[in-house]
Copies of this chain bind each other. A is one copy, B any other.
């Protein structure tokens, strides 16, 4: 894992951060500054939460590609992190500036792709302009889940068994480009995540418990999260945060386990505090390279 010798981590070159929603962008900006890099934040109207004003920044609308590139060039910025929640816009809703109009046919093509394909295509356009995309985890390794517990509670021996089963299940699914998450309770697979995402999977388990489709007493089950093999972690790093803890608490799980060094945690202190209050454990497990 890259820690101190990440790209630019020892330089003072400026770093752009394209900010989605949530707390991640400001956390990455803080970590970049700690590492001696001056962050330049790109707020996206309708996506980025407030707070970017604390740093040098520019606001762009979705589709203002020309404005984005002009701002980066003006500051001679050669590296950018893309981080935070982003709702996929409709192509028709994009606000095209001249920089975008020039690329409109290519952009239109990209919008026919799935989310990952769209993101990869946008990253490719940015890199063609000489701006390298780097992963948030390379700039802010402290946001990565460590091995072991976060918060007061630890996983029990039975939880560890469930975590192992979940990790092997996700590894087996990886060959199918699916499965960033699963929920396991005492050896039983309660839910497997595909296109719906982790929050919807947690809500499903909560619903099944309320409707008595799942007859489990007390807290039961562990959410296990790990990246898919071959996933581009610069663009789509698995992440958890307070919303995950809230969802896990509503589903009355025993805890949340994530692949250490391969999953980002936003608002870690708050996650730990809220997990403690809900009686949940949150832990990083050692990542076993996936077979095949």
Interface residues of A (CB under 8 A from B): 88, 114, 165, 168-169, 172-173, 175-179, 182-183, 187-197, 200, 204, 208, 213-215
CB pairs A–B below 8 angstroms (9 shown): A169-B176, A173-B189, A173-B192, A178-B189, A188-B195, A191-B195, A195-B208, A196-B204, A204-B204
Chain B nearest CB: distance from A47 CB in Å? 16
Chain B nearest CB: distance from A65 CB in Å? 21
Chain B nearest CB: distance from A213 CB in Å? 7
* Cβ B196 vs Cβ A213 within 8 A: yes
Residue on B nearest A165 in the bound complex, by CB: B176
Q: Within the assembled complex, what's the spacing in Å between the Cα atoms of A213 and B191? A: 19
Residues of B within 8 A of A177 (CB): 187-189
Residues of B within 8 A of A165 (CB): 176
Residues of B within 8 A of A215 (CB): 88
Pick from A179, A188, A193, A195 the residue with the most CB of B within 10 Å: A195
Residues of B within 8 A of A188 (CB): 114, 177, 195
* Cβ A195 vs Cβ B213 within 8 A: yes
Known contacts A191-B196, A192-B194; A173/B178 CB under 8 A:
no
Residue on B nearest A116 in the bound complex, by CB: B188
Residues of B within 8 A of A88 (CB): 215
Chain B nearest CB: distance from A262 CB in Å? 20
Residues of B within 8 A of A114 (CB): 188
Residues of B within 8 A of A197 (CB): 213
